[in-house]
Amino acid sequence: EKLKTEFPKDFLWGGAVAANQVEGAWNIDGKKADLSDIFPNGAHMPADRKIIEGKYYPNHEAIDFYHHYEADLDYFQEMGFKCFRTSINWSRIFPDGDETEPNEAGLKFYDDLIDAIIARDMAPVITISHYETPLNLVDKYGSWRNRKLIDYFVHFCETIFKRYGDRVKYWMTFNEINNMRRMPATAGGIFFEAGENELEVMYQTTHHMFVAHSLAIKVGRELMPDAKIGCMMSLSNVYPNTCNPNDVFETLELRRASLFYSDVMIRGKYPSYINRIWEKANVQVTFEPGDEEIISTYLSDYLGFSYYRTTTHVFGEPFAGHTGGDQGTPNPYIGTTPWGWQIDPVGFRYTFNELYDRYQIPLFCVENGLGQFDEVTEDGKIHDDYRSSYLIQHVAAMKEAIKDGVDIMGYTWWGPIDLVSVGTGEMSKRYGFVYVDKDNEGNGSLKRIKKDSLETYKNIIATNGTTL
Ligand code: BG6
């Protein structure tokens, strides 16, 4: 193969959202509550397992994409998006999760949305489960700790593959499945009981999700032979803070705690290093007959991942994880957002190379973006040079990775329109190229305003990144 110097002609430039962070209409057209409907404002984790009257839940209305999507997609078309990633909220299709028959009104909504995406020359990229497990499945079955969820999930997949498979080519199963390690309540509806072996619950739960992921691919292959079905991981990175070999080795172990998930879903088997981790934490995972064969037969076509930042690790120091990745010891060489996320375009190139060295399958960066405070100035505009600069630097780093020989399918900016943050429930942590007039308490007209960065991305796409 020859040296590559440019983005491929069919490169999937686009943007990504999740249904629950934009749609609102949380109890409309037959939908019932899903996990995201109990995400509170201002906190990292859903503290309650139910909706409490009088409490403000930002996702309930979000930016009301449910009723604004035509006009919002027009902005994405104006930027020249080749694809648009969103999720199908499970609870619109199966409001309780365990029904046999789907909710037609929910199916119809996504029919129309998918048609509207395609009508604007964008390929839909669909996340099947983006923190949207129906709340009933959490309450009644304990969510993914119960194997029954595998059947419900696969039935959901089969239903949407049959309905949309003629129009949707790109799919991914669980958003950031490795966040089961960092935030199991948010990612999978897992609430621990006092005294239980949390790691054991986490690994058992994850095992069910691996089987569900592979069975979804099995059904997908039967119903949509040309589809590309991937896994999706949170892969912001971590460096050793010093050349102290203990820092270096413990950093490798931390990275493995994430890569464990893609190792299983891409290589098709549990890696040998997991045995020592399980031994140390006294973890026993129950496998049913046939599980290993399913996992080894139905492998991900591509690795979708989010990348926002990097952090560093010092041996023995605390290492907390939440949205965007892990957060360890600050790196003095790079800048930081007001939310403490360290901006690192070189880390983006590093991560592409790391992942391609490990897996040699196509990579799709399905989330990269900058959450920042934005100000509407007197001229009624938003001069967000910081966002343009983050974008340019990360796309330039991605181009370097292409030159390094990495096979990259596409890039979808996280939050091309402002949306509700998962980590904090805020609106003021803005990612968009399009501003939405709404604040953290839910006030605002929902009016949309183009930011300066919209032109930046439009130019990058129009020139297929050649000017970088
Ligand atoms: C990823 C999620 O973790 O990061 C998104 O897939 C999320 O849903 C994004 O919005 C950014 O995190 P936050 O906390 O700023 O919303």
Mean pLDDT over 345-372 rounds to 98
**Nearest 5 degrees, angle CA 170-CA 73-CA 443?**
120
Contact 369, 434 (CB under 8 A): no
At 135 the pLDDT is: 97
CA 184 to CA 317: how far, in whole Å? 22
Catalytic-labelled residue, pool 23, 176, 250, 426: 176
Helix boundaries (H) for 342-407: 345-359, 385-403
Query: Would you say residue 392 lies in a domain?
Result: yes
Mean pLDDT over 403-411 rounds to 98
Q: Measured between alpha carbons, how far is residue 120 from residues 69, 75, 81, 183, 429 in Å?
A: 12, 10, 9, 36, 28
Ligand 1 centroid distance, CA of 101 (Å): 31
pLDDT at 45 over 80: no
pLDDT digit string, tens, across residues 190-249: 999 999 999 999 999 999 999 999 999 999 999 999 999 999 999 999 999 999 999 999
Ligand 1 centroid distance, CA of 410 (Å): 19
Percent of the chain with pLDDT over 90: 93
- As given in the structure block, the two tokens for residue 75 are 């902005």
pLDDT at 375 over 90: yes
At 107 the pLDDT is: 98
What are the φ/ψ torsions at residue 129 (nearest 5 degrees)?
-140, 105
- Closest C-alpha residue for ligand 1 atom 7: 422
Q: Is 118 helix (H, G, I), strand (E, B) or coil?
A: helix
Run of H or E residues at 157: helix 148-164
Ligand 1 centroid distance, CA of 138 (Å): 21
At 1 the pLDDT is: 67
Question: Taking the complete model, does pTM exceed 0.90, yes or no?
Answer: yes
Query: Would you say residue 297 lies in a domain?
Result: yes
At 44 the pLDDT is: 63
Query: Would you say residue 272 lies in a domain?
Result: yes
Select from 182, 90, 101, 176 the least CA-distant residue to 138. Answer: 90
pLDDT confidence band for 43 (50 / 70 / 90): low
Query: Would you say residue 332 lies in a domain?
Result: yes
At 57 the pLDDT is: 94
Query: Would you say residue 130 lies in a domain?
Result: yes
Ligand 1 centroid distance, CA of 55 (Å): 22
CA 304 to CA 428: how far, in whole Å? 27
Mutate to test the pocket of ligand 1, among 258, 306, 426 (most ligand atoms within 8 A of CB): 306
47: number of CA atoms within 13 Å, CB side?
10
pLDDT digit string, tens, across residues 122-143: 999 999 999 999 999 999 999 9
pLDDT confidence band for 468 (50 / 70 / 90): confident
298: number of CA atoms within 13 Å, CB side?
23
Query: Would you say residue 3 lies in a domain?
Result: no
Run of H or E residues at 413: strand 408-414
- Closest C-alpha residue for ligand 1 atom 5: 422
Paired sense of beta strands 363-367 and 303-306, if any: parallel
At 319 the pLDDT is: 79
Would you list the DSSP string of 89-105?
Answer: -HHHHSSSS--SS--HH
Predicted-complex ipTM score: 0.99
At 101 the pLDDT is: 98
pLDDT confidence band for 3 (50 / 70 / 90): confident
Beta-strand ranges (E) seen in 187-292 are 228-234, 237-240
CA 220 to CA 241: how far, in whole Å? 43
Contact 366, 304 (CB under 8 A): yes
Packing angle between helix 453-462 and helix 65-79, nearest 10 degrees?
A: 50
At 318 the pLDDT is: 82
Query: Would you say residue 16 lies in a domain?
Result: yes
Ligand 1 centroid distance, CA of 409 (Å): 21
- Structural domain for 29, as ranges: 12-462
Run of H or E residues at 329: none
Ligand 1 centroid distance, CA of 100 (Å): 32
* Closest-lying ligand 1 atom to the alpha carbon of residue 421: 16
Q: Give residue 393's region: left, alpha or beta (phi > 0; psi -120 to 50).
A: alpha
Would you list the DSSP string of 23-42?
Answer: ---TTSTT---BGGGG--SS
pLDDT digit string, tens, across residues 67-95: 999 999 999 999 999 999 999 999 999 99
At 463 the pLDDT is: 97
Q: Measured between alpha carbons, how far is residue 68 from residues 29, 56, 126, 448 in Å?
A: 16, 22, 19, 10
The 10 Å Cβ neighbour count of residue 254 is 18
Ligand 1 residue neighbourhood (C-beta within 6 Å): 18, 21, 175-176, 234, 306, 323-324, 367, 371, 414, 421-423, 429
Higher pLDDT residue, 153 or 323? Answer: 153
The 10 Å Cβ neighbour count of residue 256 is 14
CATH number at residue 207: 3.20.20.80
Question: How high does pLDDT run on average in the chain?
Answer: 96
- As given in the structure block, the two tokens for residue 324 are 């965007």
- As given in the structure block, the two tokens for residue 332 are 């003095």
Query: Would you say residue 251 lies in a domain?
Result: yes
Mutate to test the pocket of ligand 1, among 178, 367, 427 (most ligand atoms within 8 A of CB): 367
Mean pLDDT over 157-177 rounds to 98
Mutate to test the pocket of ligand 1, among 23, 183, 323, 412 (most ligand atoms within 8 A of CB): 323
* Active-site residue, 193 included: no
At 255 the pLDDT is: 96
pLDDT at 307 over 90: yes
What are the φ/ψ torsions at residue 218 (nearest 5 degrees)?
-55, -50
pLDDT digit string, tens, across residues 171-189: 999 999 999 999 999 999 9
Report how many domains make up the chain. Answer: 1
